[in-house]
Amino acid sequence: MGAPAPPGAVLRLRGREFGPGRFAVMGVVNRTPDSFYDRGATFAFDAALRAADVAVRQGADIIDVGGVKAGYGEHVPPEEEIRRTVPFVAALRERHPEVIISVDTWRARVGRECAAVGADLINDTWAGADPDLALVAAEFDVGLVCSHSGGLEPRTDPHRVAYTDVMADVVATVTGLAERAEALGVDRARILVDPTHDFGKNTYHSLELTRRLGELAATRRPVLVAVSHKDFIGETLDAPLTDRLAGTLATLAVSAWAGARVFRVHDVGAARAALDAVAGLVVEEAQESTCNRR
């Protein structure tokens, strides 16, 4: 087996640290009626709370709360996104004071409202479409995810997208966004970078990013991967949405070995077990390497 990725920077959120070989599982709770994965199963407030409870019991370190479907769908104004997310974040903060709460939004207004009631991380999957979002992260001293969408506007899908080198484009974009966030006052230890599989990319691009993820980890910034049940896995395996767990876990394991730190998933228990196994292998490989140098 090849060596795991070299040590990277430590991620710090809500008083917790995730260093090299310590993987954080981010459980998804979508407060949307049209989620691509659960089709609205956690749209109701009580159902969303129950789903969060289960995710925490299964080992989630982070709960990621979303109020707008990522892809095409009915327009959701900021007021409605706030209605779906802010009261839920407040309730989740009271219910699980130890859990890290993330809010999946590209809107600074929504991020500010959620941070004010206890969110610890703003998961911007649309590459700084609202430039004020980084200012919100700095204002509230919370984390920020810097992502790559290939220049797409929020909630749009790629059409005949092309890159000379997709990983080079990702590295340039996310490191640029991360450096801007730092300059605005966001703590470096709270900034993650996300190659953002399938956003502004086709299946070939998402597979290429997975194979070369070590290049992103080499920037020494904590890497988040969000691949759970995504289309590139389905197309690769010719598998419907309901039959992509094995492909998801395989991609998580490869990504962890390559140096990813945070993993956004729908199946928390299975992901936790897979990542704990990889963590054990990383420790064993590191110990063996140390012994061989003596």
In the chain, what are the domains?
21-293 (3.20.20.20)
The C-alpha atoms of residue 77 and residue 45 are separated, in whole angstroms, by 19
Which residues are catalytic, by number?
Answer: 230, 264
Confidence of residue 9 (pLDDT cuts 50, 70, 90): confident
51-69 pLDDT tens trace: 999 999 999 999 999 999 9
| pLDDT for the residue numbered 39 | 81
| pLDDT for the residue numbered 8 | 74
CA angle 215, 204, 232 (to 5 degrees): 100
Interacting residues of 150 by C-beta distance below 8 A, sequence separation 6+? 158, 161, 163, 169, 199, 200, 201
| pLDDT for the residue numbered 145 | 98
Q: What is the mean pLDDT of residues 192-197?
A: 98
| pLDDT for the residue numbered 71 | 86
The C-alpha atoms of residue 102 and residue 100 are separated, in whole angstroms, by 7
Average pLDDT of every residue of the chain: 94
The C-alpha atoms of residue 168 and residue 171 are separated, in whole angstroms, by 5
245-289 pLDDT tens trace: 999 999 999 999 999 999 999 999 999 999 999 999 876 554 555
pLDDT greater at residue 215 or residue 294: 215
The C-alpha atoms of residue 289 and residue 88 are separated, in whole angstroms, by 46
| pLDDT for the residue numbered 6 | 62
25-56 pLDDT tens trace: 999 999 999 888 888 899 999 999 999 999 99
The C-alpha atoms of residue 192 and residue 104 are separated, in whole angstroms, by 13
In this model, does residue 73 exceed pLDDT 90? no
149-189 pLDDT tens trace: 999 999 998 888 999 999 999 999 999 999 999 999 999 99
| pLDDT for the residue numbered 7 | 64
In this model, does residue 94 exceed pLDDT 90? yes
Q: What's the token pair of residue 63?
A: 């709960």
What percentage of the chain reaches a pLDDT higher than 70?
Answer: 94
Q: What is the mean pLDDT of residues 196-223?
A: 97
State the number of CA atoms in the 13 A half-sphere of 197 facing the CB. 28
pTM of the model: 0.94
Confidence of residue 290 (pLDDT cuts 50, 70, 90): very low
